[in-house]
Amino acid sequence: MTSPLDPALGIQLVRHIELDPGKPVMRIRSEFRKLFGSPTQISVWTIAQMREPERVSMLLSPKSRFDGAYVRLQKSEPANLKIEGQVLLLSRHPREQVKIGADAASLACVGPDYVIRIDAQPGPGEFPDGGCLTEVYTSPDPLQYVELETLGPLTTIATGEQIDRTTVYTVRPRSTPDPVAEAMSAF
């Protein structure tokens, strides 16, 4: 899929979508092509917006750069936030906009009968929002959704250059009615 050209940045997005023929896995490679204009510092930022899940989880980095292994990017704290071992668990906050980030490479979303795991492409470089590789946004009522985001390193690209990142999505059916246990088992 190819986007229209962004006239302000001179960048065009090309998404390459690949479905694994033998597994419930989808790979999306997002490619930013700089077609004109001054050099631009940018990050490939991929967002998956999902209807309100029962739980969201992040597999935290054992050597996180953040105190507490995550950073709050908006004022409000996530609903039902807890950390068990290396897994951060949360729910959508019904009254507040919430956004947190981490240097975690994997996220999961537990729905009524499915689990979606999202794996970001780690690597060297300076990442946005103080070093976030992944972020979670939750929307207040009446908009009952969450956004699971993967980020690439900040990179300056000039005309004729491109950058890309690959995000892997794995879907599986739920194996237990307990959303916390399901979120923990996603990794």
The pLDDT profile of the chain, 187 residues, written as one tens digit per residue, is 999 999 999 999 999 999 999 999 999 999 999 999 999 999 999 999 999 999 999 999 999 999 989 999 999 999 999 999 999 999 999 999 999 999 999 999 999 999 999 999 988 999 999 999 999 999 999 999 999 999 999 999 999 999 999 999 999 999 999 999 999 999 9
Q: Which two tokens stand for residue 130?
A: 């103080």
For residue 103, tell me if it sits in a domain.
Answer: yes
Q: How far apart are the first and last CA of the chain?
A: 30
For residue 40, tell me if it sits in a domain.
Answer: no
151 and 128 Cβ atoms separated by less than 8 Å: yes
For residue 121, tell me if it sits in a domain.
Answer: yes
b vs e for 56-75, b when ≥16 Cβ sit within 10 Å of the residue's Cβ? bbbbbbeebebeebbbeeee
62 φ/ψ sector (left φ>0, alpha ψ -120 to 50, else beta) = alpha
For residue 147, tell me if it sits in a domain.
Answer: yes
For residue 118, tell me if it sits in a domain.
Answer: yes
Q: What digits encode the pLDDT tens for the residues 40-95?
A: 999 999 999 999 999 999 999 999 999 989 999 999 999 999 999 999 999 999 99
Range of the domain at 91: 46-151+167-185
What confidence score (pLDDT) does residue 154 get?
97
For residue 6, tell me if it sits in a domain.
Answer: no
For residue 2, tell me if it sits in a domain.
Answer: no
What confidence score (pLDDT) does residue 75 get?
95
For residue 39, tell me if it sits in a domain.
Answer: no
**Beta sheet of 98-102, edge-to-edge order:** 45-51, 145-151, 134-138, 98-102, 71-72
What confidence score (pLDDT) does residue 172 get?
98
Q: Alpha-carbon torsion 145, 24, 133, 34, what sign?
A: negative
| Total domains in the fold of the chain | 1
